[in-house]
Amino acid sequence: MISFHGGKYVYQVLEGEEREKILNNIKNFLSLEISKRKACDIELICNGAFSPLDHFMNKDEIMDVAFNLNLNGILWSIPIMLPVNKDIFEKAQEKDKIILKHENVPLALLEIEDKFTLNENEKEKIAEAVYKTTSLDHPGVKEFMSESSYYLSGKVYLLNRPKREEGIKDFYYLDPKNTRREFEKRGWKRIVAFQTRNPIHRAHEYITKCALEIVDGLFIHPLVGHTKKDDIPASVRMKCYEVLIENYYNKKRVFLSVLPAAMHYAGPREALHHMIMRKNYGATHMIIGRDHAGVGSFYGTYEAQEFVKKYIDKLEIEPLFFEHAFYCKKCEGMATTKTCPHPERDRVILSGTKVRAMLRQGIKPPKEFTREEVAGILIEWARSVS
């Protein structure tokens, strides 16, 4: 089995008497209500998905990650930070313990190691380094720049799991130790992970099946944490994965689970971040496709692939690069620009924007773009929200 990133597995989930003692004395602690994004970060620190990271970063670590992709000598690409309000910042002292809550549910215990501020100039420099832009049109930048400039760092210990997405079965939420156990049970040694925040369609099906030809198993691991408001809901996406696996994949060679992570839309940087997490979940390979983790026109079509290539030696998990796939009417099948000689007029290529517009009008996307069963699920959802 592939080693955890940095060679260390972090598991900071409190159970039994230790957990009950804290919950029974919760009134004795300062408490802080946090965002859904930070609730996602807490779970991934504590369940080992962010291994070897076991804490919210301090200022020096944030700067080193942002400008050098370095976390205490280990490759890391996205700063993991905890913004707090001014009142908590002023009250909190080093070595204090704070209860972190989301929707008034106590999620975790934070042991404060440091507190610090980031001024607007520092935040803009971090945004430029991580997102390659300071534009507030970028959803990741907008959220980062709008959050508090007061921060706490320190180890965090999980008390309760964040609230699950409605419509997604609990058994899909697995920690890295659980997915690794499942892969061992199946006898898989070479596992390819597939990341998506969008409904799965024919192009995704094509590249995942191509990748599956050279490994033992396919790990479909959709991101279901905090995303943009206009992204299709995670529960709808999960129905699409389920129906596609049921009807068009060899189920013995596919494993579906979910990643309760927040999207940063950081393109190249986030491609690395996604690979590190999937490595911790036990994958040996990962598909990096067109505009991985991108948004709008902020990144080049294959910029994430070029970026990842620079760090392959430090990753251990191996990227599999795919070009944009499409259905070619002349080839009468799925293809990419590497394999298809025909002009664009023979290719069925639909943007996400165009597909959403079709769904709103009650028009099924063509079978060359998505399977009929998937289109049916999407149409039903679109009608329910129109």
pLDDT tens-digit profile of 40-88?
999 999 999 999 999 999 999 999 999 999 999 999 999 999 999 999 9
3-state class (DSSP) for residue 236:
helix
Binned at pLDDT 50, 70 and 90, residue 241 comes out as: very high
C-alpha–C-alpha distance, residues 265 and 51, integer Å: 21
In this predicted structure, the answer to whether residue 95 has a pLDDT above a threshold of 80 is yes
pLDDT for 356 equals: 72
What is the residue extent of each domain of the chain?
5-158, 170-259+263-385
3-state class (DSSP) for residue 38:
helix
pLDDT: which is higher, 303 or 227: 303
pLDDT tens per residue, range 325-355 = 999 999 999 999 899 999 999 999 876 667 7
CATH number of 170-259+263-385: 3.40.50.620
pLDDT for 16 equals: 95
pLDDT for 359 equals: 80
CA distances from 195 to 136, 211, 277, 359 (A): 25, 13, 11, 23
In this predicted structure, the answer to whether residue 281 has a pLDDT above a threshold of 90 is yes
Catalytic annotation, residues? 197-198
CATH number of 5-158: 3.10.400.10
C-alpha–C-alpha distance, residues 345 and 347, integer Å: 6
pLDDT: which is higher, 289 or 253: 253
